[in-house]
Chains A and B, each alone.
Chain A
Amino acid sequence: MALNNITLGQYYPADSVVHRLDPRIKIVLLIAVIVAIFLASNLLAFVPIAAFLVIVTRLSKVPVKMMVKGLKPLRLILILTFVLNLFFLQGETPLLNLGFAVIKKEALTMAVHYSLRLILLVLFSSLLTLTTPPITLTDGLERLLSPLRVIHFPAHEMAMMMSIALRFIPTLLEEADKIMKAQTARGADFETGNLIARAKAMVPLLVPLFVSAFRRAGDLAMAMEARCYHGGEGRTRLRVLKCQKRDYIACAVTALLIVCVVLCGKAY
């Protein structure tokens, strides 16, 4: 009951043009933007990308706070990237002598460059997951990958697996909560003790959880078969993805962005 309302992924529900974009287009555009980020050969080239990020974020109605939250788990990596680049990259123009090390101008530029690259990568990816429900994302991925069926890539099966996982995560979390409580009622202790003791304490939780997950999987497979599921072949879909005007506009804008980035790189 307590876990009934967990949100999956970090989808931020809102009614915006970014939310409404075709998930396939969004995925492709994210890849394009990532390419643009790597094409950016100097700091000036980041300006159009950053501007693009600001505009898209505004359009998406996602609060900046939510975006920044996505960076939090990466704090350490970001700091490390910056510091390591700063101290260990070679350069010619000394900027600051700290005594134990000399910071070079080129190193500072590169440190800023790499950090920016990382930050932008994360922010753009977050933007995709914040504006696309996981199930739609799965859907989009399936359609994008479906041409690969020719080389026996199981695009449909993978998408089906992902969507079933999404459906059952809340159910299994609820179950885990219940089993944990039941074992606590029998005096189990999940909270104290050293690492080994705690790992051992998980057995009474994990065994029943696995047993239950397998039982559910068996039941579900039977229920799916009874409902005529027989793989992706000959299957129609309730939700059909169709590109609309806004999708083409988004593509055009992104293409423009790439051109700008390349030009900025050359101009310097």
Chain B
Amino acid sequence: MQVTLEHVTHTYQPGSPFQSTAIEDVNLTIREGEFLALIGHTGSGKSTLAQHINGLLAPTSGRVLLDGQDIHQKGYDKREVRRKVGLVFQYPEHQLFEETVAKDVAFGPKNLGLPEAEIAERVQEALNKVGLKDKDIAEKSPFELSGGQMRRVAIAGVLAMRPRILVLDEPAAGLDPQSREEMLQLIYGLHQQGATVVMVSHSMDDVARFATRAVVMEHGTIAMDGTPEEIFRHAERLEQMGLDVPSVCKLGIRLREMGLPCPEDIFREEQAMEALLALWKEGKAHGAE
């Protein structure tokens, strides 16, 4: 299963004085099993792009293909796209509305017209996946939960539709460090279980840790596309775009500026550790000579 965006351009309010082009001529193929990080400034078009992946927005020009089929052509059942591609918005807890957690999670499957028994099964499965196994929680009002738990419920609501591709817009925004880490581990776990993940993120440390591919957006177009290694090799370029780079990347740049032979592709903590230990041991050996 893959989604392909072909020459996708999206213009808001075309023909009005407020016309603005959010993304322009974007070509992107999301491949099965990827963990794709979508990076960029606010206003770089990444959220608009994310909304094209499940057909919420239709391109002004260009095509969006799901397994080779144009999802906006006449006669194509949109529900099919919604079922296969799940989209989790920023602060998804703001969309909760039902009396109980279980009912809220059931909203998606119900819309798919599934039989009661299957809905119940899916709700339980989705709540298990997000780590809310507790039977009590399912019967609680979602508005009684903590912020982190509410967000999990909202994600469960999307997972209950059993999407093959999961698109998440800044799933960790506004969470404290511990809840953030738990959320990222949850998403990483879903990816390990076989889901294709597209995650809009501002945190380069997260991208470095989890993504198998990173796409950098700037002014509505794709500026960079590659593995995190490839992207972070151009740390200077990212900084020029006003984006953060992982702190260990910055450390590498500083060290090289100081004339130390620090290798280039360091972007995870464990890589930095190895490299620094090697540097130190080498230094010691020299000193001993």
A interface with B by C-beta (< 8 Å) = 1-2, 4-5, 175, 178-179, 181-189, 203-204, 207-208, 211-212
Q: A181's contact among B22, B51, B97, by CB below 8 Å, is which?
A: B51
- Check A182 against B83 for contact (C-beta < 8 Å): no
Query: Which stretch, B106-114, B267-275, B280-288, touches the partner chain A?
Result: B106-114
Chain A interface SS verdict (over half): helix
Give complex CA distance A189, B112 in Å.
Answer: 11
Q: Which residue of A lies closest to B104 (CB)?
A: A204
- Check A1 against B48 for contact (C-beta < 8 Å): yes
Hey, which chain B residues are within 8 Å of A208, CB to CB? 94-97
Query: Which stretch, B62-70, B84-92, B197-205, touches the partner chain A?
Result: B84-92
Taking the nearest CB of chain B, how far is it from the CB of A208, in angstroms?
5
Taking the nearest CB of chain A, how far is it from the CB of B107, in angstroms?
6
Give complex CA distance A208, B89 in Å.
Answer: 14
- Check B79 against A5 for contact (C-beta < 8 Å): no
| Interchain residue pairs A-B with the least CB separation, the first 7 | A187-B111, A5-B18, A207-B97, A186-B108, A185-B87, A182-B95, A182-B89
Give complex CA distance A169, B149 in Å.
Answer: 29
Taking the nearest CB of chain B, how far is it from the CB of A125, in angstroms?
25
**Most B-side CB within 10 Å, residue of A179, A183, A187, A189:** A187
Question: Which of B38-72 touch A at CB < 8 Å?
Answer: 47-48, 51, 54, 56
**Most A-side CB within 10 Å, residue of B12, B97, B161:** B97
Give complex CA distance A187, B193 in Å.
Answer: 24
- Check A186 against B97 for contact (C-beta < 8 Å): no
- Check B111 against A185 for contact (C-beta < 8 Å): no
Q: Which residue of A lies closest to B99 (CB)?
A: A207
Hey, which chain A residues are within 8 Å of B97, CB to CB? 203-204, 207-208, 211
Known: A186-B82, A211-B97. 14 other contacts (CB 8 A): A2-B12, A5-B18, A179-B94, A181-B89, A182-B95, A183-B95, A185-B89, A185-B158, A186-B161, A187-B79, A187-B107, A187-B112, A203-B97, A208-B96
**B157 interface residue, CB < 8 Å from A?**
yes
Q: Which residue of B lies closest to A188 (CB)?
A: B111
Give complex CA distance A208, B95 in Å.
Answer: 6
**B188 interface residue, CB < 8 Å from A?**
no
B interface with A by C-beta (< 8 Å) = 12-13, 16, 18, 22, 47-48, 51, 54, 56, 79, 82-83, 86-87, 89, 92, 94-97, 107-108, 111-112, 143, 157-158, 161
Given known pairs A1-B48, A182-B92, the reply for A211 and B143 (CB within 8 Å) is yes
Hey, which chain B residues are within 8 Å of A187, CB to CB? 79, 82-83, 107-108, 111-112, 161
- Check A185 against B54 for contact (C-beta < 8 Å): yes
Q: A185's contact among B22, B47, B86, B143, by CB below 8 Å, is which?
A: B86
Hey, which chain B residues are within 8 Å of A185, CB to CB? 54, 56, 82, 86-87, 89, 158
Give complex CA distance A255, B54 in Å.
Answer: 63
Q: B89's contact among A178, A189, A212, by CB below 8 Å, is which?
A: A178
Q: Which residue of A lies closest to B83 (CB)?
A: A187
- Check B107 against A181 for contact (C-beta < 8 Å): no
Hey, which chain B residues are within 8 Å of A178, CB to CB? 89, 94
Give complex CA distance A188, B158 in Å.
Answer: 12
Q: Which residue of A lies closest to B92 (CB)?
A: A182
- Check A186 against B51 for contact (C-beta < 8 Å): no
Hey, which chain A residues are within 8 Å of B86, CB to CB? 185
Q: Which residue of B lies closest to A184 (CB)?
A: B56
Q: Which residue of A lies closest to B89 (CB)?
A: A182
Hey, which chain A residues are within 8 Å of B157, CB to CB? 186
- Check B107 against A186 for contact (C-beta < 8 Å): yes
Hey, which chain B residues are within 8 Å of A203, CB to CB? 97
Q: A189's contact among B54, B108, B111, B158, by CB below 8 Å, is which?
A: B111
Give complex CA distance A181, B87 in Å.
Answer: 10
20 contacts between A and B (CB under 8 A): A1-B12, A1-B48, A5-B13, A178-B89, A182-B89, A182-B95, A185-B82, A185-B89, A185-B158, A186-B108, A186-B157, A187-B82, A187-B108, A188-B107, A203-B97, A204-B107, A207-B97, A208-B95, A211-B97, A212-B94
Give complex CA distance A111, B89 in Å.
Answer: 57
Taking the nearest CB of chain B, how far is it from the CB of A36, in angstroms?
36
Q: Which residue of A lies closest to B81 (CB)?
A: A185
Give complex CA distance A184, B56 in Å.
Answer: 8
Give complex CA distance A212, B13 in Å.
Answer: 26
Hey, which chain A residues are within 8 Å of B94, CB to CB? 175, 178-179, 182, 208, 211-212
Q: Which residue of B lies closest to A4 (CB)?
A: B18
Hey, which chain B residues are within 8 Å of A184, CB to CB? 56, 82
Q: Which residue of A lies closest to B48 (CB)?
A: A1
Give complex CA distance A223, B56 in Å.
Answer: 35
Hey, which chain A residues are within 8 Å of B87, CB to CB? 182, 185
Q: Which residue of B lies closest to A206 (CB)?
A: B97
Given known pairs A185-B89, A187-B161, the reply for A179 and B82 (CB within 8 Å) is no
Give complex CA distance A186, B47 in Å.
Answer: 17
Taking the nearest CB of chain A, how far is it from the CB of B143, in angstroms?
7
Give complex CA distance A148, B157 in Å.
Answer: 53
